[in-house]
A and B are shown apart, each in its own frame.
Chain A
Protein backbone atom coordinates (compact mmCIF):
# COMPACT_ATOMS: atom_id res chain seq x y z
CA UNK A 1 0.00 0.00 0.00
CA UNK A 2 1.32 3.47 -0.90
CA UNK A 3 1.16 6.65 1.17
CA UNK A 4 1.78 10.31 0.35
CA UNK A 5 4.23 12.13 2.60
CA UNK A 6 3.26 15.75 3.21
CA UNK A 7 5.50 16.77 6.13
CA UNK A 8 8.79 15.61 7.59
CA UNK A 9 10.53 16.28 10.89
CA UNK A 10 12.87 19.25 11.01
CA UNK A 11 15.78 17.30 12.40
CA UNK A 12 19.54 17.39 12.74
CA UNK A 13 21.63 15.86 9.97
CA UNK A 14 23.86 12.86 10.66
CA UNK A 15 27.63 13.34 10.55
CA UNK A 16 27.82 10.35 8.26
CA UNK A 17 25.53 7.58 7.01
CA UNK A 18 21.76 7.90 7.09
CA UNK A 19 19.45 9.17 9.75
CA UNK A 20 15.81 8.09 9.90
CA UNK A 21 13.30 10.84 9.15
CA UNK A 22 9.82 10.68 10.64
CA UNK A 23 7.01 11.82 8.39
CA UNK A 24 3.31 12.57 8.14
CA UNK A 25 1.08 11.24 5.40
CA UNK A 26 -2.35 11.84 3.92
CA UNK A 27 -4.87 9.31 2.72
CA UNK A 28 -4.21 8.72 -0.99
CA UNK A 29 -7.91 8.12 -1.56
CA UNK A 30 -9.04 11.20 0.32
CA UNK A 31 -6.38 13.79 -0.33
CA UNK A 32 -8.54 16.84 0.30
CA UNK A 33 -9.51 15.88 3.83
CA UNK A 34 -7.81 17.58 6.75
CA UNK A 35 -6.68 14.27 8.19
CA UNK A 36 -2.99 13.55 8.58
CA UNK A 37 -1.31 10.39 9.82
CA UNK A 38 1.99 9.98 11.61
CA UNK A 39 4.04 7.57 9.52
CA UNK A 40 1.72 4.94 8.13
CA UNK A 41 -0.44 4.78 11.24
CA UNK A 42 -4.17 4.77 10.56
CA UNK A 43 -5.29 7.04 13.38
CA UNK A 44 -5.77 10.58 12.17
CA UNK A 45 -4.08 13.63 13.61
CA UNK A 46 -6.03 16.88 13.44
CA UNK A 47 -4.90 19.69 11.21
CA UNK A 48 -4.61 21.92 14.33
CA UNK A 49 -1.91 19.63 15.73
CA UNK A 50 -0.04 19.74 12.43
CA UNK A 51 -0.27 23.53 12.45
CA UNK A 52 1.09 23.74 16.00
CA UNK A 53 4.06 21.55 15.02
CA UNK A 54 4.65 23.68 11.92
CA UNK A 55 4.49 26.86 14.00
CA UNK A 56 7.02 25.42 16.46
CA UNK A 57 9.17 24.36 13.48
CA UNK A 58 9.16 20.75 14.63
CA UNK A 59 8.07 19.71 11.15
CA UNK A 60 8.50 21.00 7.61
CA UNK A 61 5.92 20.97 4.84
CA UNK A 62 7.17 19.50 1.58
CA UNK A 63 6.59 21.40 -1.66
CA UNK A 64 6.13 18.13 -3.48
CA UNK A 65 4.47 15.15 -1.86
CA UNK A 66 6.50 11.96 -1.82
CA UNK A 67 4.95 8.58 -2.44
CA UNK A 68 6.20 5.86 -0.13
CA UNK A 69 5.36 2.19 0.28
CA UNK A 70 4.57 0.45 3.54
CA UNK A 71 7.91 -1.36 3.63
CA UNK A 72 9.97 1.76 2.88
CA UNK A 73 11.46 4.28 5.25
CA UNK A 74 12.60 7.86 4.75
CA UNK A 75 16.14 8.90 5.62
CA UNK A 76 18.45 11.89 5.19
CA UNK A 77 22.18 12.01 4.64
CA UNK A 78 24.78 14.43 5.97
CA UNK A 79 24.08 16.87 3.13
CA UNK A 80 20.36 17.05 3.81
CA UNK A 81 19.35 14.87 0.85
CA UNK A 82 16.21 12.82 1.31
CA UNK A 83 16.50 9.12 0.53
CA UNK A 84 13.90 6.37 0.38
CA UNK A 85 15.13 2.90 1.33
CA UNK A 86 14.04 -0.37 2.85
CA UNK A 87 12.54 0.41 6.27
CA UNK A 88 14.32 -2.35 8.16
CA UNK A 89 17.57 -2.29 6.19
CA UNK A 90 18.26 1.18 4.79
CA UNK A 91 21.38 0.00 2.99
CA UNK A 92 19.21 -1.63 0.33
CA UNK A 93 16.74 -0.27 -2.23
CA UNK A 94 18.08 3.27 -1.78
CA UNK A 95 16.53 5.93 -3.97
CA UNK A 96 17.48 9.59 -3.77
CA UNK A 97 14.43 11.81 -3.86
CA UNK A 98 14.44 14.93 -5.98
CA UNK A 99 12.74 17.20 -3.46
CA UNK A 100 14.43 20.30 -2.11
CA UNK A 101 13.99 20.89 1.59
CA UNK A 102 15.40 24.37 2.32
CA UNK A 103 15.44 23.73 6.08
CA UNK A 104 17.69 20.69 5.67
CA UNK A 105 19.89 22.45 3.11
CA UNK A 106 20.35 25.31 5.55
CA UNK A 107 21.43 22.87 8.24
CA UNK A 108 24.06 21.51 5.88
CA UNK A 109 25.34 24.98 5.03
CA UNK A 110 25.39 25.89 8.70
CA UNK A 111 27.37 22.75 9.46
CA UNK A 112 29.96 23.67 6.84
CA UNK A 113 30.03 27.36 7.65
CA UNK A 114 29.99 27.26 11.45
CA UNK A 115 33.52 25.89 12.10
CA UNK A 116 35.01 28.32 9.57
CA UNK A 117 32.82 31.31 10.17
CA UNK A 118 35.63 33.79 10.82
CA UNK A 119 37.85 32.67 7.96
CA UNK A 120 34.94 32.74 5.56
CA UNK A 121 33.95 36.20 6.68
CA UNK A 122 37.46 37.53 6.21
CA UNK A 123 37.83 35.76 2.90
CA UNK A 124 34.47 37.05 1.71
CA UNK A 125 35.29 40.61 2.67
CA UNK A 126 38.60 40.37 0.88
CA UNK A 127 36.89 39.15 -2.26
CA UNK A 128 34.23 41.81 -2.06
CA UNK A 129 36.84 44.54 -1.64
CA UNK A 130 39.44 43.42 -4.15
CA UNK A 131 37.88 41.40 -6.95
CA UNK A 132 35.03 41.53 -9.34
CA UNK A 133 34.22 37.91 -10.12
CA UNK A 134 30.84 36.26 -10.80
CA UNK A 135 30.86 34.52 -7.42
CA UNK A 136 31.18 37.72 -5.55
CA UNK A 137 27.46 38.34 -5.18
CA UNK A 138 26.90 34.98 -3.56
CA UNK A 139 29.82 35.33 -1.20
CA UNK A 140 28.73 38.83 -0.43
CA UNK A 141 25.31 37.49 0.52
CA UNK A 142 26.97 34.89 2.69
CA UNK A 143 29.05 37.51 4.46
CA UNK A 144 25.98 39.65 4.99
CA UNK A 145 24.17 36.68 6.49
CA UNK A 146 27.05 35.89 8.81
CA UNK A 147 27.39 39.51 9.87
CA UNK A 148 23.66 39.81 10.51
CA UNK A 149 23.66 36.65 12.61
CA UNK A 150 26.51 37.97 14.70
Chain B
Protein backbone atom coordinates (compact mmCIF):
# COMPACT_ATOMS: atom_id res chain seq x y z
CA UNK B 1 0.00 0.00 0.00
CA UNK B 2 1.37 3.41 -0.93
CA UNK B 3 1.58 5.82 1.96
CA UNK B 4 0.17 9.33 1.51
CA UNK B 5 2.75 12.13 1.54
CA UNK B 6 0.99 13.99 4.29
CA UNK B 7 -1.35 13.30 7.13
CA UNK B 8 -4.23 15.49 8.10
CA UNK B 9 -4.85 15.18 11.79
CA UNK B 10 -7.62 17.41 12.98
CA UNK B 11 -6.57 20.12 11.76
CA UNK B 12 -2.79 19.69 11.65
CA UNK B 13 -1.09 18.96 8.34
CA UNK B 14 1.74 16.56 9.08
CA UNK B 15 4.39 16.35 6.38
CA UNK B 16 7.92 15.00 6.21
CA UNK B 17 9.21 18.58 6.35
CA UNK B 18 7.19 19.37 9.44
CA UNK B 19 8.50 16.22 11.11
CA UNK B 20 12.07 17.21 10.25
CA UNK B 21 11.52 20.68 11.75
CA UNK B 22 10.12 19.05 14.88
CA UNK B 23 13.08 16.70 15.07
CA UNK B 24 15.49 19.62 14.94
CA UNK B 25 13.46 21.43 17.57
CA UNK B 26 13.61 18.43 19.92
CA UNK B 27 17.31 17.95 19.32
CA UNK B 28 17.91 21.46 20.67
CA UNK B 29 15.39 21.12 23.48
CA UNK B 30 16.80 17.85 24.73
CA UNK B 31 20.38 19.09 24.40
CA UNK B 32 23.53 17.07 24.33
CA UNK B 33 24.29 15.73 27.74
CA UNK B 34 25.57 12.28 26.99
CA UNK B 35 27.96 11.06 29.59
CA UNK B 36 27.97 7.38 28.66
CA UNK B 37 28.11 5.26 25.56
CA UNK B 38 25.37 6.86 23.47
CA UNK B 39 26.20 4.68 20.46
CA UNK B 40 25.13 1.53 22.32
CA UNK B 41 21.86 3.23 23.31
CA UNK B 42 21.31 4.38 19.74
CA UNK B 43 21.66 0.83 18.44
CA UNK B 44 19.10 -0.46 20.93
CA UNK B 45 16.71 2.41 20.27
CA UNK B 46 17.03 1.70 16.56
CA UNK B 47 16.29 -1.99 16.85
CA UNK B 48 13.59 -2.62 19.45
CA UNK B 49 10.25 -3.82 18.15
CA UNK B 50 7.21 -1.64 18.90
CA UNK B 51 4.91 -3.08 21.57
CA UNK B 52 1.12 -2.99 21.46
CA UNK B 53 -0.96 -4.35 24.34
CA UNK B 54 -4.52 -5.54 24.00
CA UNK B 55 -7.15 -6.92 26.32
CA UNK B 56 -7.50 -10.70 26.41
CA UNK B 57 -11.27 -10.27 26.31
CA UNK B 58 -10.91 -8.81 22.79
CA UNK B 59 -8.49 -11.40 21.46
CA UNK B 60 -11.04 -13.75 19.92
CA UNK B 61 -13.16 -10.91 18.55
CA UNK B 62 -10.15 -9.31 16.86
CA UNK B 63 -8.45 -12.38 15.42
CA UNK B 64 -11.41 -14.64 14.71
CA UNK B 65 -14.55 -12.61 14.88
CA UNK B 66 -16.35 -9.57 13.73
CA UNK B 67 -13.24 -7.46 13.18
CA UNK B 68 -12.11 -9.65 10.31
CA UNK B 69 -8.43 -9.39 11.20
CA UNK B 70 -7.39 -11.63 8.35
CA UNK B 71 -8.56 -9.14 5.74
CA UNK B 72 -8.68 -5.80 7.50
CA UNK B 73 -6.02 -6.02 10.20
CA UNK B 74 -5.95 -4.67 13.71
CA UNK B 75 -8.20 -1.66 13.28
CA UNK B 76 -8.06 1.83 14.69
CA UNK B 77 -11.05 2.88 16.78
CA UNK B 78 -12.26 5.02 13.89
CA UNK B 79 -12.16 2.11 11.43
CA UNK B 80 -13.88 -0.22 13.88
CA UNK B 81 -16.73 2.22 14.22
CA UNK B 82 -16.86 2.92 10.50
CA UNK B 83 -17.36 -0.80 9.89
CA UNK B 84 -20.41 -0.72 12.12
CA UNK B 85 -21.67 2.59 10.76
CA UNK B 86 -21.15 4.31 14.12
CA UNK B 87 -19.08 7.18 15.44
CA UNK B 88 -16.91 6.84 18.56
CA UNK B 89 -18.23 8.62 21.62
CA UNK B 90 -15.48 9.94 23.91
CA UNK B 91 -17.73 9.50 26.93
CA UNK B 92 -18.12 5.79 26.31
CA UNK B 93 -14.43 5.15 25.84
CA UNK B 94 -12.50 6.31 28.90
CA UNK B 95 -9.03 5.42 27.75
CA UNK B 96 -9.54 6.67 24.17
CA UNK B 97 -11.35 9.87 25.23
CA UNK B 98 -8.29 12.10 24.79
CA UNK B 99 -7.37 10.47 21.50
CA UNK B 100 -10.84 10.96 20.06
CA UNK B 101 -10.82 14.60 21.05
CA UNK B 102 -7.45 15.09 19.32
CA UNK B 103 -8.55 13.18 16.22
CA UNK B 104 -5.97 10.50 16.99
CA UNK B 105 -8.46 7.65 16.99
CA UNK B 106 -7.54 7.05 13.33
CA UNK B 107 -4.37 5.35 14.54
CA UNK B 108 -3.32 2.09 16.13
CA UNK B 109 -0.65 2.68 18.76
CA UNK B 110 2.50 0.92 19.92
CA UNK B 111 5.14 1.91 22.44
CA UNK B 112 8.85 2.33 21.83
CA UNK B 113 9.08 0.54 25.16
CA UNK B 114 8.00 -2.48 27.09
CA UNK B 115 4.38 -3.76 27.00
CA UNK B 116 3.21 -1.33 29.64
CA UNK B 117 -0.32 -2.17 30.79
CA UNK B 118 -1.03 1.46 31.75
CA UNK B 119 -4.38 1.48 29.94
CA UNK B 120 -5.33 -2.09 30.77
CA UNK B 121 -6.95 -0.96 34.03
CA UNK B 122 -10.08 -0.35 31.96
CA UNK B 123 -10.28 -4.03 30.96
CA UNK B 124 -12.65 -6.51 32.50
CA UNK B 125 -11.11 -7.92 35.67
CA UNK B 126 -9.27 -10.31 35.96
CA UNK B 127 -6.90 -8.54 33.62
CA UNK B 128 -5.03 -10.76 31.19
CA UNK B 129 -2.97 -8.62 28.83
CA UNK B 130 -1.86 -9.86 25.44
CA UNK B 131 1.24 -8.33 23.89
CA UNK B 132 1.88 -7.80 20.19
CA UNK B 133 5.28 -6.98 18.68
CA UNK B 134 4.93 -5.08 15.42
CA UNK B 135 7.49 -5.45 12.64
CA UNK B 136 10.03 -2.70 12.30
CA UNK B 137 10.30 -2.67 8.51
CA UNK B 138 6.75 -1.31 8.13
CA UNK B 139 7.72 2.05 9.62
CA UNK B 140 7.21 4.22 6.57
CA UNK B 141 5.93 7.77 6.91
CA UNK B 142 3.02 8.61 6.75
CA UNK B 143 1.54 5.13 7.18
CA UNK B 144 3.48 5.18 10.44
CA UNK B 145 4.65 8.18 12.40
CA UNK B 146 5.97 8.79 15.87
CA UNK B 147 5.54 10.99 18.90
CA UNK B 148 7.89 11.61 21.84
CA UNK B 149 5.09 10.45 24.16
CA UNK B 150 1.38 9.74 24.52
CA UNK B 151 -0.33 13.11 24.22
CA UNK B 152 -3.86 11.93 24.87
CA UNK B 153 -4.03 12.24 28.63
CA UNK B 154 -3.70 15.27 30.84
CA UNK B 155 -2.28 12.97 33.52
CA UNK B 156 1.04 12.78 31.69
CA UNK B 157 3.43 14.88 33.80
CA UNK B 158 6.24 14.78 31.21
CA UNK B 159 3.81 16.08 28.59
CA UNK B 160 2.67 18.84 30.95
CA UNK B 161 6.26 19.90 31.45
CA UNK B 162 6.60 20.29 27.67
CA UNK B 163 3.09 21.49 26.96
CA UNK B 164 4.15 25.10 26.35
CA UNK B 165 5.46 24.22 22.88
CA UNK B 166 2.10 23.00 21.54
CA UNK B 167 1.07 19.58 20.34
CA UNK B 168 2.13 20.36 16.75
CA UNK B 169 5.69 19.66 17.83
CA UNK B 170 4.84 16.08 18.81
CA UNK B 171 4.74 14.70 15.26
CA UNK B 172 7.87 12.89 14.10
CA UNK B 173 8.83 10.34 11.51
CA UNK B 174 9.41 6.88 13.01
CA UNK B 175 13.16 7.09 12.38
CA UNK B 176 13.33 10.51 14.05
CA UNK B 177 11.57 9.09 17.07
CA UNK B 178 14.09 6.27 17.34
CA UNK B 179 16.95 8.69 16.88
CA UNK B 180 15.72 11.24 19.47
CA UNK B 181 15.14 8.86 22.35
CA UNK B 182 18.84 8.32 23.17
CA UNK B 183 19.16 12.10 23.66
CA UNK B 184 16.24 12.05 26.07
CA UNK B 185 17.74 9.08 27.90
CA UNK B 186 20.90 11.09 28.48
CA UNK B 187 19.20 14.39 29.30
CA UNK B 188 16.30 13.36 31.53
CA UNK B 189 17.75 12.64 35.00
CA UNK B 190 14.93 10.17 35.69
CA UNK B 191 16.14 7.90 32.89
CA UNK B 192 19.59 7.33 34.43
CA UNK B 193 21.42 7.23 31.07
CA UNK B 194 20.14 3.68 30.67
CA UNK B 195 18.25 2.36 27.67
CA UNK B 196 16.75 -0.57 29.52
CA UNK B 197 15.65 1.65 32.38
CA UNK B 198 13.87 3.84 29.80
CA UNK B 199 12.49 0.83 27.94
CA UNK B 200 11.09 -0.83 31.07
CA UNK B 201 12.54 -3.78 32.90
CA UNK B 202 11.21 -6.18 35.51
CA UNK B 203 13.80 -5.55 38.20
CA UNK B 204 12.99 -1.84 38.54
CA UNK B 205 9.29 -2.55 37.92
CA UNK B 206 9.27 -4.81 40.97
CA UNK B 207 11.18 -2.38 43.17
CA UNK B 208 10.11 1.12 42.24
CA UNK B 209 6.64 2.41 43.00
CA UNK B 210 4.87 3.98 40.01
CA UNK B 211 7.75 3.12 37.64
CA UNK B 212 5.16 2.00 35.08
CA UNK B 213 3.41 5.37 35.12
CA UNK B 214 6.67 7.25 34.69
CA UNK B 215 7.67 4.98 31.80
CA UNK B 216 4.30 5.48 30.18
CA UNK B 217 4.85 9.24 30.36
CA UNK B 218 8.24 9.00 28.64
CA UNK B 219 7.80 6.12 26.20
CA UNK B 220 7.91 7.06 22.55
CA UNK B 221 4.79 6.22 20.64
CA UNK B 222 4.38 4.82 17.13
CA UNK B 223 1.10 5.51 15.39
CA UNK B 224 -0.14 3.36 12.52
CA UNK B 225 -2.69 4.88 10.19
CA UNK B 226 -6.04 3.00 10.13
CA UNK B 227 -4.86 -0.58 10.71
CA UNK B 228 -2.03 -3.03 11.25
CA UNK B 229 -2.51 -6.15 9.09
CA UNK B 230 -1.54 -9.58 10.47
CA UNK B 231 1.49 -9.70 8.16
CA UNK B 232 2.90 -6.70 10.02
CA UNK B 233 2.72 -8.43 13.40
CA UNK B 234 5.94 -10.22 14.24
CA UNK B 235 5.03 -11.97 17.47
CA UNK B 236 2.41 -12.31 20.18
CA UNK B 237 2.88 -12.67 23.94
CA UNK B 238 0.15 -15.02 25.06
CA UNK B 239 -0.93 -15.26 28.72
CA UNK B 240 -1.44 -18.61 30.39
CA UNK B 241 -2.49 -19.06 34.00
CA UNK B 242 -2.65 -21.78 36.52
CA UNK B 243 -6.37 -21.98 37.29
CA UNK B 244 -7.59 -25.13 35.64
CA UNK B 245 -10.92 -23.61 34.76
CA UNK B 246 -13.20 -23.49 31.77
CA UNK B 247 -11.67 -20.20 30.63
CA UNK B 248 -8.19 -21.70 30.61
CA UNK B 249 -9.46 -24.59 28.50
CA UNK B 250 -10.89 -22.10 26.03
CA UNK B 251 -7.57 -20.25 26.12
CA UNK B 252 -5.66 -23.35 25.04
CA UNK B 253 -8.18 -23.97 22.30
CA UNK B 254 -7.88 -20.37 21.10
CA UNK B 255 -4.09 -20.64 21.10
CA UNK B 256 -4.25 -23.70 18.83
CA UNK B 257 -6.68 -22.00 16.47
CA UNK B 258 -4.42 -18.95 16.37
CA UNK B 259 -1.40 -21.10 15.50
CA UNK B 260 -3.30 -22.60 12.59
CA UNK B 261 -4.75 -19.39 11.26
CA UNK B 262 -1.71 -17.13 11.70
CA UNK B 263 1.31 -19.41 11.39
CA UNK B 264 3.67 -16.54 10.50
CA UNK B 265 3.09 -14.74 13.81
CA UNK B 266 5.52 -16.09 16.42
CA UNK B 267 3.79 -17.17 19.63
CA UNK B 268 5.40 -16.73 23.03
CA UNK B 269 3.58 -17.95 26.11
CA UNK B 270 4.01 -16.22 29.44
CA UNK B 271 2.85 -17.21 32.88
CA UNK B 272 0.45 -14.55 34.13
CA UNK B 273 0.42 -16.01 37.67
CA UNK B 274 4.18 -16.17 37.97
CA UNK B 275 4.31 -13.43 40.59
CA UNK B 276 0.87 -14.14 42.09
CA UNK B 277 -1.29 -11.00 41.95
CA UNK B 278 1.52 -8.98 40.36
CA UNK B 279 0.14 -9.64 36.89
CA UNK B 280 1.72 -6.54 35.35
CA UNK B 281 5.18 -7.62 36.53
CA UNK B 282 4.65 -10.97 34.79
CA UNK B 283 3.81 -9.17 31.53
CA UNK B 284 6.69 -6.70 31.77
CA UNK B 285 9.19 -9.45 32.51
CA UNK B 286 7.98 -11.52 29.56
CA UNK B 287 8.02 -8.52 27.23
CA UNK B 288 11.46 -7.36 28.34
CA UNK B 289 13.19 -10.72 28.02
CA UNK B 290 11.46 -11.55 24.74
CA UNK B 291 12.61 -8.24 23.30
CA UNK B 292 16.17 -8.66 24.59
CA UNK B 293 16.29 -12.19 23.25
CA UNK B 294 15.09 -10.98 19.86
CA UNK B 295 17.75 -8.25 19.71
CA UNK B 296 20.43 -10.69 20.78
CA UNK B 297 19.53 -13.69 18.62
CA UNK B 298 17.12 -12.28 16.02
CA UNK B 299 14.65 -15.00 17.01
CA UNK B 300 11.98 -15.84 19.58
CA UNK B 301 11.61 -18.62 22.12
CA UNK B 302 8.11 -20.03 22.53
CA UNK B 303 8.21 -19.44 26.28
CA UNK B 304 9.27 -16.13 27.85
CA UNK B 305 10.92 -17.95 30.76
CA UNK B 306 13.33 -19.68 28.36
CA UNK B 307 14.29 -16.31 26.86
CA UNK B 308 14.83 -15.02 30.40
CA UNK B 309 17.08 -17.90 31.34
CA UNK B 310 19.22 -17.49 28.22
CA UNK B 311 19.64 -13.73 28.70
CA UNK B 312 20.52 -14.27 32.37
CA UNK B 313 23.06 -16.90 31.39
CA UNK B 314 24.67 -14.44 29.04
CA UNK B 315 24.52 -11.21 31.07
CA UNK B 316 24.04 -12.31 34.66
CA UNK B 317 20.92 -12.28 36.77
CA UNK B 318 21.04 -8.82 38.30
CA UNK B 319 23.18 -6.97 35.77
CA UNK B 320 21.14 -7.47 32.64
CA UNK B 321 18.70 -4.59 33.02
CA UNK B 322 21.08 -1.64 32.71
CA UNK B 323 23.69 -0.80 30.18
Interface residues of A (CB under 8 A from B): 9, 11, 20, 22-23, 38-46, 49, 52, 58-59, 70-73, 87-88
Contact = CB atoms under 8 A, between A and B. Distances in A.
A52 to B, nearest CB: 7
Contact of B155 (A11, A23, A38, A46): A46
B277 A44 contact: no
Interface of B: 94, 118, 121-122, 124-127, 155, 205-206, 208-213, 242-243, 273, 276-281
A58 B94 CA distance: 15
B276 A40 contact: yes
Contacts of A39: 276-279
A20 B210 CA distance: 26
B273 A42 contact: no
A8 B105 CA distance: 32
Given A41-B280, A52-B94, A71-B276, A22 B126 contact: yes
A29 B115 CA distance: 29
Contacts of B210: 42-44
B125 A22 contact: yes
A117 B206 CA distance: 50
Main secondary structure of the interface of A (DSSP, over half): loop
Nearest to B206: A42
Contacts of B242: 88
A75 B278 CA distance: 16
A44 B122 CA distance: 14
19 contacts: A9-B125, A11-B125, A20-B126, A22-B126, A23-B277, A40-B278, A41-B278, A42-B205, A42-B210, A42-B278, A43-B118, A43-B210, A43-B211, A43-B213, A44-B210, A49-B122, A73-B277, A88-B242, A88-B276
A125 to B, nearest CB: 39
